[in-house]
Structure formats: structure tokens, C-alpha cells
């Protein structure tokens, strides 16, 4: 039997046709598909501008530079994220200041953020921005973060790489993830809600940020594109026309794809309703449409990390690919070595990360496969729990 994969893209004839059409032209980079992709993405998110880039990480890096964050500037962020969301600060010798997570959604804790800001202010440490993550598709508490940013004159960077299509409903119009910060960032790696293979996008309402970001993507070039006009140190963070055509085609199907994702997630949640081991992910706030990035379940609170890891290993042996998601950034070897972080520094984030198992999750995961995954997971958990009890009795 083939393994049940952890994730996978949703590619149809529509996408194949779009990419092939580009291959039949002579313009394989920096052409009409780039502008179409950016235009359609800013229309979908509801921001004035969008700048596509070669990855979500590249878009994050450009955002940091475009906002003028540099050496010695401190930026508040969270250790519960993909490593790129704080690496992008280190690229510029800026200093990530971690704040612990909120236990339900894993997003940054706004009260602890406030305390940390006060602490840094007292010490007269230069603080420039808050970089928060819409973790697993759940919105961070943007109202409170915005109030703090306003009060202390900070930029708000929204890493919405896991939240494309999440929105908060409002009478005046829905507000999409990515549109809550001064800049929003998306990534299109194949396990995201939509993919371009590799790719990313920066969205903003600020003309200045937009122009700076566009120049930084292109070696720091003058927007008029003169060879002699490299005004700033920039990068080659372009994304090919092939990738943009794929992005345009995926974005045309985004609501259909999200409907499938939500259906798969709901199916798992129903199957797990009576589970004695697994806690399904929390329901989003009633005013929020959640775009699920993965399907993260929690193992029992009294399971240590290695028991969770054993479960993942034994499920893999049965052909069910699951994963931990994500280990805390501050505990990665590089951050430990560079900053001296250790276990216990951010207990809520650590506990959150230690209990999560991401189940196989992709748009076309059938009802039968979902039932099979849950059956395997329950059986393995049962065995582990029985073995654990035996160990304890000895
Ligand atoms: C996926 C992701 C990114 C960007 O990843 P790339 O692979 O560079 O596109 C950034 N931040 C978070 C939180 C992510 O999940």
C-alpha cells in the first residue's frame, strides 16, 4: 500500500494549461504573468499593492528591508513559527525579541507583548516593529497588536504565510489575513493553501513600502529600470513567469480549494469527536472564516514529547505520514548556540509545540482515508498508552 502523504498540492488541468501556455512564449521571467499575479493577489487580499518574490522567506526579507529595519533594531516576534519568520531579522542583524504564545491558537500573546514593550522602553532599547504570525491559519489578535503599535510607534509585520484565505467578517466588508499589518507576507511552497512551487508575495497599502520592495527584489534598481540606476543594495528575488502563471491559475480556484480543505478538516473533527487521545484544533472565533493550513491535533497533556514522537514514528511505520509542527525557533541548534536559549524560556510555546501532531491533510483526502488515518492513530495511541502504563507500574 502507498503511504498516505502528509501534504500535497492540488494541481488540475487548469494549472497545467496555464504553465504550458507560458512555455510557448519567449517571456519566461518578469513578464505579463508577474503583473497579473500581483494584481489578482492584491485584489483578493484587498490591499493596494502586491510584490511577488521567489519565496515567502524572500518576501519577509524584503519587508524587513523596505521598512528600514537594520542592525541593532529590536523586533518583537514569537518562537512558535517557521524558522524563516525570525531568520529574516537576522539577515539584517536586527534582533528578534521573543514573546511567548497564547495557549489556544499558538499566536503571539498580546499581554506579554505589551509587558515586553514596556520592559524594552524602560531600558531604552531601540524597538522598531512587531512581527506576528497567523499561526496555522488562525488570526493573531491584530486589534490589540495594532493598538500597541500605534501607541509605541512600531511597524506591524503580518506573516500570513499560513493563512491565505482566512478572513474576519465585518459589515463593512471582510478583512483578509495579510491585510492587518503594515505589510502582509504569503508563501507558496507546495504544502500551503496554494502553491507556485516556490514563491511568495508581499502585500501593503503603503506606496513607499511597495516601491522599496519592488526595487529590493530587483538588485536595488531604480524603478525606471535603467542599468545604471542601482540606488540600493538589493537582491535577485524574482519569481519566474511559469510560477506566476501557476499562481494565477491556483488563485482562480482558491475558494474551491479552501472549501475542500475546510471539508477535510471538518471530517477529521467529526471523526475525532469521541477520541480519548486526540484533541482537534480549536474552532476559530465566530466572526472568522478559518483557512486551515494543516490539521494539527493535540496529544494528551500528560504525554511527554518523546511519547508524541514515538506515535509519529509508529504511524510512519504503518504508512501514515504525520509530523511535529513546528519545533520552537529558540530551541533550534543555531538559536541556542547564537543566543543561549534553552528549554523553559517560553513554556507555553514549548508545550504547544510538544503536543502537536499534524495529520495527513490535503484537498483531495477522501472520507475513507481520513477514517483510516484516525483508526491507525487511535490504535497506535492505545498501544502506547498501555505500554506507558506498564512502564509506570514496574
Ligand atoms: C511557509 C512559511 C514561510 C515562508 O516559507 P517559504 O518556504 O520561504 O515560502 C514563512 N513563515 C511561515 C510562518 C511559514 O509557515
Closest Cα to atom 4 of ligand 1: 56
Q: Which atom of ligand 1 is nearest to the CA of 133?
A: 13
pLDDT at 347: 98
Mean pLDDT of 292-306: 96
pLDDT at 393: 47
pTM tops 0.85: yes
| Cell 521567489, located at residue | 54
pLDDT at 387: 84
pLDDT at 227: 66
For residue range 276-288, what is the model confidence (pLDDT) as tens digits? 999 999 999 999 9
Cell of 146: 495594532
129 lines ligand 1 (CB under 6 A): no
Report the SS3 class of residue 340: coil
> Could you tell which of 79, 80, 82, 198 is best to mutate to test the pocket of ligand 1, judged by most ligand atoms within 8 Å of the CB?
82
Q: Using the predicted structure, report yes or no on whether residue 295 has a pLDDT greater than 70.
A: yes
Burial class (CB in 10 A: 0-12, 13-18, 19+), 156: buried
Give CA separation, 152 vs 70, 71, 155, 223, 378, in Å. Answer: 18, 20, 9, 32, 49
Q: DSSP letter string over 244-271? A: HHHHHHHHHTHHHHHHHHHHHHHHHHHH
**What DSSP element (H or E) covers 74?**
strand 74-77
Distance 122 CA to ligand 1 centre (A): 33
Strands of the 183-187 sheet, one edge to the other? 49-53, 200-204, 183-187, 155-159, 127-133, 74-77, 95-98
56 lines ligand 1 (CB under 6 A): yes
- Closest C-alpha among 239, 148, 249, 154 to residue 202: 239
> Residue 225 — very low, low, confident or very high, per pLDDT cuts 50/70/90?
low
184 lines ligand 1 (CB under 6 A): no
Q: Which atom of ligand 1 is nearest to the CA of 293?
A: 15
Distance 367 CA to ligand 1 centre (A): 29
For residue range 323-359, what is the model confidence (pLDDT) as tens digits? 999 999 999 999 999 999 999 999 999 999 999 999 9
110 lines ligand 1 (CB under 6 A): no
Cell of 242: 511559469
Report the SS3 class of residue 43: helix
Mean pLDDT of 188-193: 98
Distance 386 CA to ligand 1 centre (A): 38
Please tell me the distance from the alpha carbon of residue 220 to that of residue 234, in angstroms, as a whole number: 4
Q: Where are the beta strands (DSSP E) in 85-140?
A: 95-98, 127-133
Please tell me the distance from the alpha carbon of residue 6 to that of residue 359, in angstroms, as a whole number: 7
List 289's β-bridge partners, or say none. Answer: 167
Amino acid at each position: 500500500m502507498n503511504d498516505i502523504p502528509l501534504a500535497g498540492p492540488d494541481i488540475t488541468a487548469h494549472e497545467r494549461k496555464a504553465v504550458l501556455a507560458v512555455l510557448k512564449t519567449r517571456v519566461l521571467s518578469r513578464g505579463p504573468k508577474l503583473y497579473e499575479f500581483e494584481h489578482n493577489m492584491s485584489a483578493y487580499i484587498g490591499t493596494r499593492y502586491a510584490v511577488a518574490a521567489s519565496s515567502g522567506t524572500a518576501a519577509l526579507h524584503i519587508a524587513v528591508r523596505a521598512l528600514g529595519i537594520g542592525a541593532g533594531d529590536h523586533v518583537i516576534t514569537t518562537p512558535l513559527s517557521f524558522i524563516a519568520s525570525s531568520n529574516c531579522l537576522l539577515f539584517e542583524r536586527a534582533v528578534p525579541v521573543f514573546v511567548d504564545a497564547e495557549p489556544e491558537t499558538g499566536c503571539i500573546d498580546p499581554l506579554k507583548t505589551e509587558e515586553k514593550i514596556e520592559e524594552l522602553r524602560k531600558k531604552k532599547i531601540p524597538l522598531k516593529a512587531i512581527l506576528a504570525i497567523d499561526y496555522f491559519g488562525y488570526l493573531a489578535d491584530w486589534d490589540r497588536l495594532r493598538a500597541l503599535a500605534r501607541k509605541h510607534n512600531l511597524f506591524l509585520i503580518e506573516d500570513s504565510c499560513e493563512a491565505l484565505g482566512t478572513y474576519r467578517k465585518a459589515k463593512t466588508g471582510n478583512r483578509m489575513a495579510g491585510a492587518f499589518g503594515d505589510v502582509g507576507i504569503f508563501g507558496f511552497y507546495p504544502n500551503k493553501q496554494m502553491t507556485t512551487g516556490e514563491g511568495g508575495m508581499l502585500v501593503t497599502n503603503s506606496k513607499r513600502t511597495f516601491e522599496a520592495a519592488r526595487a529590493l527584489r530587483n538588485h536595488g534598481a531604480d524603478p525606471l529600470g535603467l542599468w545604471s540606476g542601482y540606488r540600493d543594495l538589493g537582491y535577485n528575488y524574482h519569481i519566474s513567469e511559469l510560477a506566476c502563471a501557476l499562481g494565477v491559475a491556483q488563485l482562480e480556484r482558491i475558494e474551491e480549494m479552501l472549501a475542500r480543505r475546510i471539508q477535510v478538516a471538518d471530517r477529521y473533527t467529526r471523526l475525532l469527536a469521541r477520541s480519548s487521545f486526540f484533541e482537534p484544533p480549536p474552532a476559530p472565533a465566530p466572526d472568522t472564516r478559518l483557512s486551515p493550513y494543516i490539521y494539527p491535533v493535540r496529544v494528551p497533556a500528560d504525554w511527554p514529547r518523546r511519547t508524541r514522537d514515538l506515535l509519529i514514528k509508529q504511524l510512519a511505520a504503518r504508512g501514515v505520514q504525520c509530523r511535529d509542527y513546528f519545533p520552537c525557533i529558540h530551541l533550534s541548534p543555531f538559536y541556542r548556540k547564537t543566543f543561549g536559549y534553552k528549554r523553559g524560556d517560553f513554556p507555553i510555546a514549548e508545550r504547544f509545540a510538544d503536543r502537536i501532531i499534524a495529520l495527513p491533510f490535503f484537498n483531495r483526502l477522501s472520507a475513507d482515508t481520513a477514517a483510516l488515518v484516525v483508526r491507525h492513530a487511535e490504535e497506535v495511541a492505545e498501544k502506547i498508552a498501555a505500554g506507558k502504563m506498564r512502564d509506570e507500574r514496574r
